[in-house]
Amino acid sequence: MRLGHDHVRVRVPATSANLGPGFDSLGLALGLRDELEVRALGSPGVVVEVKGQGAGEVPDDETHLVIRAVRLALDHVGAPQTGLHLTCVNRIPHGRGLGSSAAAVVAGIFAARGLIGDPEALDDEVALRLATELEGHPDNAAPAILGGATIAWSDADDPKAVRIAIDPGLTPIVLVPSTRLATSRARSVLPASVPHTDAAFQAGRAALLIEALTRRPDLLFPATEDRLHQRYRADVMSESLALVDALRALGVAAVVSGAGPTVLALARATGGGATDADDAVRAVFGGVMGGWQVLRPGVDGAGARVDRIPG
């Protein structure tokens, strides 16, 4: 496989995984995007420039996650490695459960797609497989690639995903704390097994959530109940669980976003840019919560996109 282009631009959305009961399977793409450009260089080595989230913190060498993903994808299709100049404008908060690492991985794979002569060699199915190889699970990578809401699963270690049509009135509200939490830390507190009754409860709620997302948004509140992971993480994100409880006490379908500590509220549009969760959010933040950023990014329906930039 040869390189067909030397300069590409990639846009990739933030994502929220789990959505309550859909642990490691359900995900939603959000209208908050990282943008980056990758240029193939005539000399070896890398140059990394980062603005926004992670600036001055993430690696600026071959270990940068986007660079690693580009290299993996080029190797997969047998394309030659090359020097790379990476410029990132990061808007997705890091370490908050909004899929920043999955976005970086998907961005690198899509950059490689744009650089090679035959982009179809890195189609969405291959992109998901490679992203899962780096990420370990496909729940964030799937909506980052496909956009919208997705169901991801693995069949004999081969990750798959499908996109589901969601109710057009679904409006995500993202509540982002100032604190971070590593996914590895959040996963480390989960038990190796759960009671059979909790597993049965979870299966029922995950099935109900598909109906709520697609056709019956009035069922979002009961459909987002979880017994598999959120409560087990209370010791490492107590403020997040307190916020989930406060919002749910007011009837809002609130969950932990991914591994946290961001909280996601699945609201319904009521017209004029308002939602049925607005009063509850104002009440909670006007009373007991502080240090949180409230975002209304909308649903990203496009997924990752790559454009070739003329030389």
CA distances from 260 to 49, 81, 186, 201 (A): 27, 36, 8, 22
Burial letters 174-208, b for 16+ CB under 10 A, else e: bbbbeeebebeebeeeeeeeeeeeeeebbeebbeb
Residue 287: exposed, middle, or buried by beta-carbon count in 10 A (0-12, 13-18, 19+)? exposed
Q: What are phi and psi of 31, to 5 degrees?
A: -80, 50
DSSP 102-132: HHHHHHHHHHHHHHBS-GGGG-HHHHHHHHH
The Cα 249–Cα 281 span in angstroms is 11
Of the candidates 221, 219, 240, the residue with the CA atom closest to the CA atom of residue 229: 240
CA distances from 174 to 12, 30, 225, 238, 239 (A): 17, 9, 18, 17, 15
Rounded to the nearest 10°, the torsion over CA 127, 214, 219, 19 is 10
The Cα 228–Cα 122 span in angstroms is 34
Tell me, what amino acid is at 291?
A: G
The Cα 240–Cα 100 span in angstroms is 19
List residues forming the annotated binding site.
93-103
The Cα 17–Cα 150 span in angstroms is 9
Which token pair is 150?
């997705």
Residue 264: exposed, middle, or buried by beta-carbon count in 10 A (0-12, 13-18, 19+)? buried
List residues forming the annotated binding site for ATP.
93-103
